[in-house]
Amino acid sequence: MKTIEHPPIMDFYRNSVDVADGGGAARPSMLQLIHGDNAIPEEIDIEGFKLHNDEIVEGQIQKPSKSRVEKFNPPPTQARVKFGWIQGVFVRCLLNIFGVMLYLRISWVAGQAGIGLGSMIVLLASLVTSITAISTCAICTNGDVKGGGAYFLISRSLGPEFGGSIGLIFSVANAVGAAMYVVGFAETIRDLMKEASVRIIDNALWDVRIVGFATCIVLMAVVFIGTEFESKMQMGLLVILTASIIDYMIGSVFPPTTAMELRGATGYSMNTFVENLLPAFRGGEDFFSVFAVYFPAATGIMAGANISGDLADPQHAIPIGTLLAIAVTTTVYLATVWMTGSTCVRDADGIFPPSWNGSVFTPPDCAFNSSCPYGLMNYFQVMEMESLWGPLITAGIFAATLSSALASLVSAPKVFQAVCKDRLFPKIGYFAKGYGKNEEPRRAYALTFIIAMAMIAIGDLNAIAPIISNFFLASYALINYACFDASFADSPGFRPGFKYYNMWVSLGGALLCIVVMFIISWATALITFFCFAALFLYILHRKPDVNWGSSTQAHSYKNALSGMIKLSNTEEHVKNYRPQILVLCGNAASRPSLVDFAHNITKGSSLMICGYVVPYNPSDRVYSVMRKLERQLSEWLRKRRVKAFYTSVANTSLRAGSQSLLQVCGLGKLRPNIILIGFKTNWYRGGPTPQTLGELNEYFGTIQ
């Protein structure tokens, strides 16, 4: 969404190693704002103190790698070709949702489920995709959207564990999905060749493989040329697909020929409409099995979001393009269910035209043993039969399969490239490299090509199709959950420009996606969950060093705050007493034994704070050193697996500094009730002097 105010420099609001070490824009102090950058007072010199502490800490731990945070002001790069919402999102989603299901199975859905339940199936599938699209709109209008599509949205909302898992699965699903579309195209070519008594080898599996290999090579050549050329080709395929749909709609209005009547066509008839209004499931089918067959036709809504890096304004393009594509495709699918259900009977023998006893259809004899060759239940070419010109429907089938294959061949490498750039998995950074002004992932293209060719070699992917549908549904479920989780966390950073969403609707959408996964196939749903869980646990164990401001971080703060408030309202009891220790260890890395002793008491089950009285008066320079010490010593404690906090105070008096620490450190009921100080060793250092006596007085005063 466009805003009037210029967005702030986001690096000022990040608490990460990158920014703190100078990698981003450091927030200026009040002194600098008033007097300029060179106004830091020079009355003290603590460089020696800083270097001494650095030597102690860095000698025991490796310097932590810098967190990878999002750069909101990247350096200018070569101008890229960017797409608007029509060419970049609407057309891609439209072509990816429209598939062979429209031409070869929608009439079968009308026959099995009837016009009534068939419409419910279409609307239920659209409900799932619409809720997901609304959640996507909310997430992508909340901030900067870069390349990676579904992976980017999920990873930046739920964190690397969720995003990395679904990103890898989503990439593989798109690659295998491209192979499925190519095989569907090759099987159609084989059937046409068989009707014309032409063959390459056997009119069977090898012909499918050869045609599939050739088609995949041509499509990959188009993709390698670039997304700009591929997008223009998609526009041409859209023209063919649109013409084929119009061809059917016009043809269905004309009275059927004798040959069409023998195959069950009646033209628009109220009797036919009433006859096909209610379901007539057969062959072991039911509502859920028919829904499982239809639902893959509704997927493809992420085709535009998957190339988010190539969109001129993704925050505007993704919502309007995706929602409009869902509305158009749903309307067309619904209209096709009603049109096929109103113009063709369920069973026809090809010998006699449909027979009616008044307004009641008299089925042919073959209907009683389900052996009829024609009708909605048996003949998948009903749309071609009723169209104005049959070959245009065949061209539409080709356009639908090739456009979907192209979209998948582009989406898979783009998403995989984004995963590789984030380095969540080892040894895949090779595929992150982009080429040309559009950063084309040619290496990822090559990998996708190899996967697709391997799947085409199988020649029959019916067994894999449910798994791919479940992979897509898993990503939809996580997008919905990401929207819910970000809203539920009450993070002030989640303020989407798209206001027409509700977190409970998003949660319902996530649950609905999971239910649909088990409806399609409970076995493949379990396989999907297993794959996701394995990748999730791997990334969780690997602990990638990223800082994306996810809702998981927001929940950590919210849960901690809620717990502190609840604890403050809890009355103390002797049975719940816990030692809460303030350890005056100075630089903790110089006194590891004292820190370990305190940790052996708390064992990570009670509060432990490592305090440092920095022996200087407060100043801007001292605060800078103290902030660096906090980062270093917090990292030291984490590396040493000591569950403790670090805090410091600037004061030239150990006694006064310790009193300040004891008074101010902690929060609510989490305050120190024990102070632990090391035993003094250098009592005299050569005899009593005013300096040593002053140190002794400070030490005893601290103990008192």
What's the confidence (pLDDT) of residue 28? Answer: 57
Residues in Cβ contact with 175 at an 8 Å cutoff, skipping those fewer than 6 apart: 408, 409, 412, 448, 451, 452, 455
469-518 pLDDT, tens digit per residue, is: 888 888 889 889 988 988 888 877 788 888 888 999 999 999 999 999 99
Residues of the chain with pLDDT under 70: 1-50, 52, 54-81, 459-465, 683-694, 704
Phi, psi of 584 (to 5 degrees): -85, 80
Q: Which tokens belong to 78?
A: 């070569």
Calculate the CA dihedral of residues 412, 415, 420, 422 and round it to 10 degrees: -170
What's the confidence (pLDDT) of residue 21? Answer: 44
Q: How far is CA 9 from CA 24, 25, 36, 71, 494, in A?
A: 10, 8, 19, 10, 17
What's the confidence (pLDDT) of residue 365? Answer: 86
What's the confidence (pLDDT) of residue 357? Answer: 84
Contact assessment for residue 662 and residue 675, using Cβ atoms and an 8 Å cutoff: yes
What's the confidence (pLDDT) of residue 35? Answer: 44
Q: How far is CA 377 from CA 84, 296, 353, in A?
A: 42, 20, 16
What's the confidence (pLDDT) of residue 685? Answer: 61
Look at residues 315, 316, 322, 319 and name the one whose alpha carbon lies nearest to residue 300.
322
DSSP 644: -
The secondary structure element, H or E, covering residue 466 is: helix 465-488
Length of the chain: 704
Alpha carbons 170 and 178: distance in angstroms, whole number: 12
Q: Which tokens belong to 35?
A: 């007097």
Contact assessment for residue 210 and residue 190, using Cβ atoms and an 8 Å cutoff: no
516 burial (CB, 10 Å; 0-12 / 13-18 / 19+) is buried
Alpha carbons 326 and 299: distance in angstroms, whole number: 10
Q: How far is CA 503 from CA 23, 230, 302, 371, 507, in A?
A: 36, 37, 20, 50, 6
Calculate the CA dihedral of residues 372, 377, 381, 382 and round it to 10 degrees: 100
> How many Cβ atoms sit within 10 Å of the Cβ of residue 205?
14
> How many Cβ atoms sit within 10 Å of the Cβ of residue 604?
10
What's the confidence (pLDDT) of residue 308? Answer: 80
Contact assessment for residue 582 and residue 665, using Cβ atoms and an 8 Å cutoff: yes
Alpha-carbon radius of gyration of the chain: 34
CA count, 13 A, side-chain hemisphere, 458: 16
Cα angle 583, 589, 593; round to 5: 60
The secondary structure element, H or E, covering residue 68 is: strand 68-69
Contact assessment for residue 579 and residue 606, using Cβ atoms and an 8 Å cutoff: yes
Q: How far is CA 395 from CA 194, 244, 399, 411, 452, in A?
A: 17, 7, 6, 24, 23
> How many Cβ atoms sit within 10 Å of the Cβ of residue 460?
10
DSSP 535-580: HHHHHHHH---EE---HHHHHHHHHHHHHHHHHHTSPP-GGG----
Q: How far is CA 366 from CA 348, 512, 573, in A?
A: 8, 39, 83
Alpha carbons 406 and 80: distance in angstroms, whole number: 21
Which domains occur in the chain, in start order? 85-542 (1.20.1740.10), 577-703 (3.40.50)
Q: How far is CA 514 from CA 152, 191, 274, 471, in A?
A: 21, 36, 35, 11
> How many Cβ atoms sit within 10 Å of the Cβ of residue 76?
6
Q: What SS3 class is residue 203?
A: coil
> Buried b / exposed e across 110-134, counting CB within 10 Å, b at 16+?
bbbbbbebbbebbebbbebbbbbbb
What's the confidence (pLDDT) of residue 250? Answer: 95
> Which one-letter amino acid corresponds to residue 114?
G
> What's this model's pTM, rounded to 2 decimal places?
0.77
What's the confidence (pLDDT) of residue 17? Answer: 40
Q: How far is CA 351 from CA 190, 287, 337, 355, 477, in A?
A: 28, 31, 26, 12, 49
